[in-house]
Amino acid sequence: MRVMMILPALTEATSPLFRPIKYSLFPPLGLATLAGYLDESDEVTLYDEHVERIDIEALPSPDLLVLQPYITSARRSYEIADHFRARGVHVAMGGLHVTSLPEEAAQHADTVFTGPGEEQWPLFLKDFRDGAAARRYDSTAQRTLAGLPPVRRDLIKRHLYLVPNSIVVSRGCPHHCDFCYKDAFFEGGKSFYTQTVDDALSEIERLPGRHLYFLDDHLLGNRRFAEALFDGMAGMGRLWQAAGTVNSVLQPGLLERAVDAGLRSLFVGFETVNDANLAERRKNQNIGKDYGAAVRRLHDAGVMVNASFVFGLDQDGPDVFDRTVEWAVEQGIETATFHIMTPYPSTGLWKQMEAEDHIVHRDWDLYDTRHVVYRPKGMTPRQLEDGYWRAYRDFYRWSNIWRGASAQPGRHERMRHLAYAGGWKKFEPAWDMLIRSRRTVRAMPALERTLAAFGGRKAA
């Protein structure tokens, strides 16, 4: 059987002017994981439009085409699907957007999947080989990562990515923020579960080099699993990055074990500096937590912070942008990602805004957290978009990068701050050149040196 898998490019990742490095960070692990269920005799190809341009007219027709749309790649996904269906190819789609709007996706696919695919995908493959594939497969409550086949990393073009050693050892998140896709995606069963520690360690051992990036929504979400994983990684000499919550950072002992296992950078969803927003959006894990203490704890442990913030929540006014940037710079946060609140279909936020008639359109291309697609309460749409862009400009001004570096606890940490924050946003033309020359992975040694040089806990 000939199988073709495509990750269509997000709309914002196809700029003809320059290609931000964030779209060339990670390979499509979801598709490579599904490929692990195919037979050895199957012929499979994997394409990622974020790092390689494909001409669908020139591609051969497979027996099965598998697409994984996100909301801002839906239009492109449907274009690809319609093209191959017209050739008589069976098209299967799954993922976040398909789960939130399965009826929409079904207009462009022969088979759609809702929820995580590890259970239903093998059933579909058997049905497809028997000539009896169903139109829809819904994930049920029987969710497990036991017996997961190895990810087909042989299909990944490693040289096209800055972080080819990305890995996922869990599914979902234990929290229930109402602007997140997770609850809709995992509806009907467990919303957070992990691999066995032994399986996770085996996957880590397969990866060459030193650097890893855990793409789990919340690697620290199950403390027992996380501690066992970190104990197993101790002594491997790995350097790695991951995501966690303010609450998990403040838990005694957990961060220290992560650092001993090689943690050097953590993505943290602070989301808002307005406490009143947290309860409204069910960000309960942040309520009453000392953000400053979490940042100090990370920095004292030698861990860099990638902070996430959302603008346009109900309690936000026009002053929220400057207040957020000022707080982040004062804390010495190395990198920040800003977002305009976006009501994704099927989330609690979407349902609320739809009931209040606050959603202004359904052009999925603009649901990229950079455009206003609803009626905000505390400011005008123009103020919200302008403030979003100003926050990025102000946070990454050289003067603020220098000021943030000065907040670090020592000279080595200040040097690392300058290298990391400056390299991330101030050299986008250089990143674009690497991406277009298909040499992105050549920047990996510089990333490893930055993470390794001054990281880790100080001696007591």
- What is the dotted CATH code of the domain comprising 2-138? 3.40.50.280
Q: Rounded mean pLDDT of the chain?
A: 90
Q: Which residue has the higher pLDDT, 75 or 177?
A: 75
- What is the dotted CATH code of the domain comprising 162-453? 3.20.20.70
Q: Which residue has the higher pLDDT, 279 or 103?
A: 103
pLDDT, mean of residues 388-406: 94
Q: Which residue has the higher pLDDT, 418 or 141?
A: 418
| Residue 47 main-chain phi, psi, to 5 deg | -120, 140
pLDDT, mean of residues 346-368: 92
Cα separations (Å) of 51 from 43, 44, 165, 183, 365?
Answer: 22, 18, 16, 30, 19
Confidence of residue 287 (pLDDT cuts 50, 70, 90): low
User: Does pLDDT of 460 surpass 50?
Assistant: no
What are the residue ranges of CATH 3.40.50.280 in the chain? 2-138
What are the residue ranges of CATH 3.20.20.70 in the chain? 162-453
Q: Where is average pLDDT lowest: 151-165, 210-224, 285-299, 321-335? A: 285-299
pTM of the model: 0.92
pLDDT, mean of residues 98-120: 95
pLDDT tens string 190-238:
889 999 999 999 999 999 989 999 999 999 999 999 999 999 999 999 9
User: Does pLDDT of 395 surpass 90?
Assistant: yes
Q: What is the pLDDT of residue 454?
A: 61
Q: Which residue has the higher pLDDT, 229 or 415?
A: 229
